[in-house]
């Protein structure tokens, strides 16, 4: 018997009083899988999101790329259907399935019509439980990944990202590309794919959300049907928290392009930290707010050193960073880096103004409701909230928490979070008047 745990009625924040978001229901399937649901019976359509926690980070380093290759094969034939037959069956049901993997999770997305829901779930289950891993499909997807890896080796942005991650996490999966290397991908066998499938797709590490034309009881039964046949647990433990190894300095990677690509950053802050909302607003003011941010003003508008610059909080399951990126001509990139360091230091020492704080709050609270613009985006938000350990009433309280941040709060967090001496820069290009240190 499925038990409903709790129901929250969530109102749109900063939205029209005539429009209200439906209630978020938290439920548990008869077999014990937790899920969140927003019912909406206006359109006969359901969006479903699943996340299998663990992702590529739990694969053996010598098998790097196995999770990516395996995930790419989930829609390339299953059960008694080859890749073409599976694609035809999905199209005939007017269903949409998406499979992806990244460092911390494997994601499955599905959109289906109510009239075809049972058949669509059966087909989706087949892809998750009984993938074929046919030789021709394996080689086709392997070739695609190898092509991507070869392209990445010529892309300055990917080169910068690879070098930055390696410096930050030299002894952790975060420090390597989850798509693997040409050597590890080429060496993967069919048995390797079977093994990583068994390790990743387990029911005690899955979280689920759904939005649309389905009731809680129906969703509970759907979940158990969909996951029936998958292992209950994995023998491979999840990774543990890791501290980045970044320290201040510059690393230059020689690459023949007229404009250097720069990736920079240092340690960040966790979503669960009491200071997170202040840090979120601080990042918006520093470099996350587009043309209104300080770095855009100083680096682009006043000095013309770039077309664009941005900063962002990187939240991962086991570590967090505050990062930024910029591109500048080889003869001006050294100046751009100095301006970034100076603005970083200035904000750490003197903080922000009341005007900057209020402008950031107005934007961030006003833009938040615009994320909830359809069944699929809402389902994605709900599963993300579960992954971060948030409660359903976060949607209601989020803007209140944002507005509660005071000037003293944000300036205290600026001193805590911004560490100009720890800024690490990876520069890909042929910069002038800049040396490694």
pLDDT at 256 over 50: yes
pLDDT of residue 405: 98
Which of 17-21, 177-181, 266-270 comes out lowest in average pLDDT? 17-21
Domains of the chain: which residue ranges?
A: 3-227, 249-429
CATH superfamily of the 3-227 domain: Metalloenzyme, LuxS/M16 peptidase-like (3.30.830.10)
Residue 4's pLDDT is what? 34
Q: Is the pLDDT of residue 141 over 90?
A: yes
- The pLDDT value recorded for residue 22 is 56
Task: Pick one of 3.40.50.300, 1.10.1740.110, 1.25.40.10, 3.30.830.10 as the CATH number of 249-429.
Answer: 3.30.830.10
Asked if 3-227 and 249-429 have one fold, the answer is yes
pLDDT exceeds cutoff 50 at 12 = no
Q: Average of pLDDT values for 314-335?
A: 97
Question: DSSP characters for 363-408?
Answer: HHHHHGGGG--SHHHHHHHHHHHHHTT--TTHHHHHHHHHHT--HH
**Please, are residues 263 and 311 in contact by the beta-carbon 8 Å criterion?**
no
pTM of the model: 0.92
Angle CA 3–55–190, to nearest 5 = 115
| 90-104 tens-digit pLDDT | 999 999 999 999 999
- The stretch 361-390 carries a mean pLDDT of 92
Mean pLDDT of 323-346: 98
Q: Determine the average pLDDT of the residues in 328-354.
A: 98
By the 10 Å C-beta count (0-12 exposed, 13-18 middle, 19+ buried), 281 is classed as buried
Nearest alpha-carbon partner for 275 in 401, 367, 419, 423: 401
Whether the pLDDT of residue 423 is over 70: the answer is: yes
Confidence of residue 418 (pLDDT cuts 50, 70, 90): very high
Q: At what angle do helices 135-152 and 156-168 cross, to 10 degrees?
A: 90
> What confidence tier does 23 reach under pLDDT thresholds 50, 70, 90?
confident
Q: pLDDT-based confidence at 259, cuts 50/70/90?
A: very high
pLDDT score for 20: 54
């Amino acid at each position: 018997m499925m038990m409903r745990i709790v129901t929250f009625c969530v109102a749109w924040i900063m939205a029209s009083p005539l429009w209200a978001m439906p209630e978020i229901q938290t439920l548990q399937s008869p077999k014990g899988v937790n899920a969140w649901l927003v019912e909406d019976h206006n359109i006969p359509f359901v969006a479903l999101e699943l996340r299998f926690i663990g992702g590529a980070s739990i694969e053996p380093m010598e098998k790097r790329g196995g999770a990516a290759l395996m995930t790419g094969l989930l829609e390339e034939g299953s059960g008694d259907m080859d890749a073409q037959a599976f694609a035809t069956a999905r199209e005939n049901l007017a269903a949409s399935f998406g499979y992806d993997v990244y460092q911390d999770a494997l994601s499955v997305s599905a959109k289906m019509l109510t009239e075809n829901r049972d058949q669509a779930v059966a087909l989706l289950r087949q892809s998750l439980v009984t993938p074929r891993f046919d030789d021709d499909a394996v080689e086709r997807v392997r070739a695609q990944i190898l092509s991507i890896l070869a392209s990445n080796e010529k892309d300055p942005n990917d080169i910068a990202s690879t070098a930055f991650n390696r410096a930050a996490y030299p002894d952790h999966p975060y420090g390597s590309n989850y798509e693997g290397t040409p050597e590890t991908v080429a060496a993967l066998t069919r048995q390797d794919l079977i093994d990583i499938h068994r390790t990743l797709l387990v029911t005690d590490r899955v979280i689920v959300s759904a939005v649309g034309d389905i009731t809680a009881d129906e969703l509970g039964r759907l979940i158990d049907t969909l996951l029936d046949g998958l292992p209950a647990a994995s023998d491979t433990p999840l990774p543990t928290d890791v501290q980045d190894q970044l320290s201040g300095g510059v690393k230059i990677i020689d690459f023949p392009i007229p404009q250097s690509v720069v990736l920079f950053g240092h340690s960040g802050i966790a979503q669960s930290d009491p200071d997170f909302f202040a840090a979120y607003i601080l990042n918006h003011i520093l470099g996350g707010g587009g043309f209104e941010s300080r770095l855009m003003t100083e680096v682009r508008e006043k000095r013309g050193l770039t077309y664009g610059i941005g900063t962002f909080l990187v939240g991962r399951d086991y570590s967090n960073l505050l990062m930024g990126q910029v591109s500048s001509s080889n003869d001006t990139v050294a100046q751009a880096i100095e301006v970034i360091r100076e603005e970083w230091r200035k904000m750490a020492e003197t903080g922000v103004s009341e005007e900057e704080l209020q402008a950031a709050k107005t934007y961030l609270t006003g833009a938040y409701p615009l994320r909830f613009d359809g069944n699929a985006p809402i389902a994605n938000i709900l599963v993300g909230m579960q992954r971060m350990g948030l409660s359903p009433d976060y949607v209601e309280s989020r803007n209140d928490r944002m507005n509660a941040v005071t000037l003293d709060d944000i300036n205290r967090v600026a001193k805590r979070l911004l560490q100009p001496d720890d800024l690490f820069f990876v520069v890909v290009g042929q910069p002038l008047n800049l040396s490694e240190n």
